[in-house]
Chains A and B, each alone.
Chain A
Amino acid sequence: DAGVTQSPTHLIKTRGQQVTLRCSPKSGHDTVSWYQQALGQGPQFIFQYYEEEERQRGNFPDRFSGHQFPNYSSELNVNALLLGDSALYLCASSSAFGPAGGVSGANVLTFGAGSRLTVL
């Protein structure tokens, strides 16, 4: 059973450029969340997608945008890259109808290994 897959695993960009990161959720999952993890920090929530719509957003600027496709896969786009955007970007999938009887806040997240973005 394939878990969450992300691509690319590593990439290097320069300031001002744009980047697209991709995520395929675990089989059976329909919800995708994106997190940014700076070195030595915990993952920070960017946004969550369900039924192809952004359902919730963390404290990130509009330069961060996303998309979810009908097959539940997702993309994270970051425009006008800044040096501070250098981080590990983690995708996590879950099921809207999770183990706690459909209460989304209690669902288990399955994380991918991440995409390491370096902005020079």
Chain B
Amino acid sequence: QQPVQSPQAVILREGEDAVINCSSSKALYSVHWYRQKHGEAPVFLMILLKGGEQKGHEKISASFNEKKQQSSLYLTASQLSYSGTYFCGPTSGGGADGLTFGKGTHLIIQP
């Protein structure tokens, strides 16, 4: 089942902070986060693993709440380059899971 992302869209001024949420109906093993700019391929941002391990971007952080089956992506002091659509893809197992992405959160950063 597809995870639910919120908000659907957000417009910020450069330098402001943003939080993007992802909720899953399944128990979480890991959550993947990707960003896609218009007309381009999705690009990896971060993976959060059960047990607290994180792998990803220097200027973006994220949380992983296993009990609530939720993850949040935190964009601090946003830059123009952060504009794009953000997708989360949770997995419920450590096997060869194909990712089921949410519908995405559209982030627009204005100067």
**B-binding residues in A (CB < 8 A):** 4, 31, 33, 40-48, 50, 55-58, 90, 99-100, 103-106, 108-114
CA–CA, A46 and B98, complex, Å: 8
Set A100, A105, A109: member contacting B53, Cβ < 8 A: A100
Q: Report chain B residues within 8 Å CB of A50.
A: 96
Closest Cβ–Cβ distance, residue B18 to chain A (whole Å): 18
Q: B43 to A56, Cβ gap below 8 A? A: no
Q: Report chain A residues within 8 Å CB of B55.
A: 99-100, 106, 108
Interface range on chain B (Cβ under 8 Å from partner): 20 to 34
B97 within 8 Å of A (CB atoms): yes
24 CB contacts below 8 A, A to B, read: A33-B98, A42-B2, A43-B87, A47-B98, A55-B96, A56-B96, A57-B98, A58-B98, A58-B100, A90-B42, A104-B94, A104-B95, A105-B29, A105-B93, A105-B94, A106-B49, A108-B44, A108-B47, A108-B55, A109-B32, A109-B34, A109-B42, A112-B41, A114-B41
A-B contact count (CB 8 A): 77
Residue of B with least CB distance to A57: B98
Set A43, A56, A99: member contacting B97, Cβ < 8 A: A56
Set B41, B47, B87: member contacting A42, Cβ < 8 A: B87
Q: A104 to B97, Cβ gap below 8 A? A: yes
Q: Report chain B residues within 8 Å CB of A44.
A: 100-101
Q: B97 to A105, Cβ gap below 8 A? A: yes
Mark B28-70 against chain A: 1 for CB-CB distance below 8 A, else 0: 0110101000001111100101000101000000000000000
Q: B99 to A45, Cβ gap below 8 A? A: yes
Majority secondary structure, A binding face: mixed
Q: Report chain B residues within 8 Å CB of A103.
A: 94
CA–CA, A42 and B35, complex, Å: 11
Q: B103 to A41, Cβ gap below 8 A? A: yes
Q: Report chain B residues within 8 Å CB of A58.
A: 98, 100
Q: Report chain A residues within 8 Å CB of B47.
A: 100, 106, 108
Set B40, B53, B98, B102: member contacting A48, Cβ < 8 A: B98
Residue of B with least CB distance to A42: B101
B71 within 8 Å of A (CB atoms): no
